[in-house]
């Protein structure tokens, strides 16, 4: 049975009132701690979630779902109340600092990203970052043969390159921001694409401040010299 808008509103208001009660919050928190500290319950929940996600209809509904402004506001208010509670903050810090928690989340997400359709739907809303937009402008102003596909348009293995050649579709350009890629070796990504039949040029975001050098670098790469 589907509740009417008025009934949902009354339920929501009643839930807010209950949540303002510290004893109620403590009781719910304790129940959640007991539930998630039981490995059998966690495993059971994981199995159920995986089965749901295997349904194309469920995936389409969840990935394409948009929250209403009212829902977003309710979530924001709920998080404010939760985060104002020192016990809640300490609990979340403890959970997130557990190495096993990170591994579980990582393993679940790896399974999701194995599905190309999931990756496309998650990425299709992504707009170019600042450095990527700078490269787009460079391509337009200097006739460099590359177009943005970092919105999930092109997937190679489980990776989504930033740019693909318009004259040679086996030429890729990746823009790397130092903040996110610090400590990573670009050659690992280049090799990943190489074994799949693609040539890849990695450009660090800081290089884009030297446009002439980047233009020369890209043209040499496009002509097979780099």
Decide if 203 is inside a domain.
yes
pLDDT in tens, 125-161: 678 889 999 999 999 999 999 999 988 888 888 788 9
Q: Total structural domains in the chain?
A: 2
pLDDT in tens, 1-45: 567 878 778 887 888 888 788 888 788 777 776 666 665 666 677
Question: Domain check: are 75 and 24 in the same one?
Answer: yes
What residues pair up with 215 in beta bridges, in sequence order? none
| Average pLDDT, integer, range 198-223 | 94
Decide if 124 is inside a domain.
no
Q: Above 70 in pLDDT, residue 61?
A: no
pLDDT score of 172: 97
pLDDT score of 108: 67
Question: Domain check: are 204 and 153 in the same one?
Answer: yes
> Which of 76-80, 90-94, 106-110, 218-222 reaches the highest mean pLDDT?
218-222
**Residue 89's domain spans which residues?**
5-114
Question: Domain check: are 141 and 93 in the same one?
Answer: no
pLDDT score of 66: 65
Q: Above 60 in pLDDT, residue 226?
A: no
pLDDT score of 183: 75
pLDDT score of 86: 81
| Average pLDDT, integer, range 69-94 | 79
Q: Residue 184: which CATH number? A: 3.40.960.10
């Amino acid at each position: 049975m589907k509740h009417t808008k008025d009934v949902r509103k009354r339920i929501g208001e009643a839930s807010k009132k209950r949540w303002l009660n510290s004893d109620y919050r403590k009781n719910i928190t304790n129940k959640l701690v007991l539930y998630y500290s039981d490995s059998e319950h966690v495993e059971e929940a994981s199995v159920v979630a995986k089965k749901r996600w295997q349904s194309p209809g469920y995936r389409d509904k969840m990935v394409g779902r948009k929250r209403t402004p009212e829902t977003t506001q309710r979530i924001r208010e709920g998080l404010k109340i939760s985060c104002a509670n020192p016990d809640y903050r300490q609990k979340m810090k403890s959970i997130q600092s557990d190495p096993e928690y990170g591994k579980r989340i990582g393993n679940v997400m790896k399974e999701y990203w194995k599905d190309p359709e999931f990756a496309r739907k998650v990425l299709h809303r992504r707009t170019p970052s600042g450095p990527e937009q700078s490269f787009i402008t460079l391509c337009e102003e200097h006739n460099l043969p590359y177009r943005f596909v970092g919105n999930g348009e092109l997937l190679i293995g489980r990776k989504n390159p930033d740019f693909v050649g318009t004259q040679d579709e086996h030429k890729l350009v990746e823009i790397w921001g130092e903040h996110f890629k610090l400590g990573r070796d670009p050659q690992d990504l280049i090799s990943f694409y190489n074994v799949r039949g693609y040539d890849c040029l990695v450009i660090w975001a800081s290089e884009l401040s030297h446009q002439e050098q980047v233009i020369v670098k890209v043209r040499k790469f496009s002509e097979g010299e780099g």
